[in-house]
Amino acid sequence: MAYFDAASSAPLHPVARQALLASLDEGWADPARLYREGRRARMVLDAAREAAAEAVGCRVDELVFTSSGTRAVHSGIAGALAGRRRVGRHLIVSAVEHSSVLHSAEVHEAAGGTVTQVPVDRGGAVDPAAYGDALRADTALACLQSANHEVGTEQPVAEVAEACRAAGVPLLVDAAQSLGWGPVEGDWSLLAASAHKWGGPAGVGLLVVRKGVRFASQGPVDERESGRAAGFENIPAIVAAAASLRAVRAEAAEEALRLRELTERIRARVPRAVPDVEVVGHPVRRLPGVVTFSCLYVDGEVLLHELDREGFSVSSGSSCTSSTLTPSHVLRAMGVLSEGNVRVSLPVGVAEEDVERFLEVLPGTVAAVREKLGAPAATDVAREEDVLVVDSLGKRCPIPVIELAKVIGDVPVGGLVRVLADDEAARLDIPAWCEMRNQEYVGEEPADKGTAYLVRRVS
C-alpha cells in the first residue's frame, strides 16, 4: 500500500519511535517534583523544549507544548485576542486557513468581535497588500498559515509580518505544514504547529508566544507550561516530537529536492495522461511533497475508493467526499474546480516506483469512474425561448457539470444554457468548467428551486 496522505498525518519517523520508547523509562514522573525521578523527568522535558525551540528559532521560555496543534491554535488566538482586548476586537484571517483558525474566528465573531477574511488568488496565495489594507486601529490580531494543507501553496509570511509589525499588530502563524521543512521566515509574533505533521506522535502541539506580545491565557490554568497549556505533560510523546523534528530537519534539504522532482513529475504528467484535469495551487511556491488536481466529470468519493483498491491512500477536497456535500472552503476561496479533487502528499522516504505506479494506474481509474457516470439516469432538457434548460435538481456533483457538457453543443454559438441545480458545489464547479472549456459563465440567478446558472456558448 502506498501512503500518499502525509499532509493529513505523516508516518511516525523511526527516530520518534526510538525516542518514545527510550523516554518511557525516564519521563514518567512529575517534572514539577523535586525528588530524583521528578528531576530526571524535568531534565528530559527541558532538553526536548530546547531542541524544539532551536528548530523553531525562538527562545526556550517562549515555547510551550500543548495537547495538539489545534489546541495550540485555539489557545494562541484566544490568548492574543484577550491580551489586546483594550486595543480592539478585530481579527484578520485568510480565506484558506485551517479549520482550527476559522472555527476560532467564528467563536470570536459570535462573542461580539469582528472578523475580516482576506481573499486569495487562483493559486491559493494572499496578497500582502490585502493584509495591509485590512489592518485597522482596532485590529487585535492577524493570522496566516505558512503553507496551505490542501494545495501546498506557501504564503508570503515575511511580507505580511512586516506589514503587521509596522501597524503594531501581532501575527499568528499556523506552521503545521511547513515546520518540518524549515523555520518560518519573518518577524511573526505567535506560532502554532503539530507534531504528527512532521512524523512525530499525535497528541503533541507547540505554541510560541514571543516576548513582548500581550497574551492572557483563557480558561482554567495551572502552573504547567507557563500557564498556557493546562494538564500533565506527556513527556515521552514530547521527547519523540522534538527528536523527530530535529531528525526531519537534518534530512530536509536533500529530501525536499527529491520530493519536488516527484511532485513536478505528477504535475506535468497527469494533465497529459488524463483529459480535463486542472492542477491547482501555486506552480512554484509550494511545499515539496504536495500536488493537488481536480478531474472534470468525476465523483471524488468514488475516485478515492477506486484508488484505495489499487493500493493508494490519497485525500480529497471534493464536496462529494464530505457529509455536508459542500466543496472544500480552500478550493471555493481559490475559485477552482472541486469535483474529482485529489491531493497527493508524499511522505519522507517515499519510493519513486510507487509514484510511477500511481501515474500508470490513475488514467485508467479516472476513465472507469467517468464511464460509470457518463450516462445519468435522467437528463431533463427543455427550452425557454432561446435558452436551453438543464434540470439537475436533486443531482449531486459531478452530474450537473456532466449534463451541461453534454448539451452545450446543442445550442448555437452565443446561445445560453440554464442549469438548475441545488448542489452547493455547482456554484464553484460550473464557473470552473467554463474557464477550462473556454465558455462564458454569465452568472447565477434565483430559481423556484435551487439556483439557475447561466452559461453562454462561445466556441
Rounded Cα distance between 177 and 83, Å, is 27
Beta bridge partners of 441: 455
Of 21, 1, 13, the closest CA to residue 196 belongs to 13
Strand-pair partners of 117 = 93
**Residue count (the chain):** 459
CB neighbourhood size of 203 (10 A)? 17
Listing DSSP states for 216-264 in one string gives ---SS--SGGGGTS-S---HHHHHHHHHHHHHHHHHHHHHHHHHHHHHH
Q: How far apart are CA 315 and CA 2, in angstroms?
A: 13
d(Cα 326, Cα 321) in Å, to the nearest integer?
9
Closest residue by Cα to residue 308 from 240, 266, 365:
365
143 in active site? no
C-alpha cell recorded at residue 285: 511556491
- Residue 8 cell numbers, joined: 493529513
Instruction: Given the residues 164, 320, 397, 434, select the one marked as catalytic.
Output: 320
Q: Which of 455, 8, 458, 28 is nearest to 237 (CA)?
A: 28
Helix (H, G, I), strand (E, B) or coil at 426: helix
Q: Provide CB contacts within 8 A for 183, sequence distance 6+.
A: 55, 56, 57
CB 93 within 8 A of CB 109: no
Q: How far apart are the first and last CA of the chain?
A: 44
CB of 77 closer than 8 Å to CB of 127? no
Q: Is 362 within 8 Å of 270 (Cβ atoms)?
A: yes
Active site residues: 320
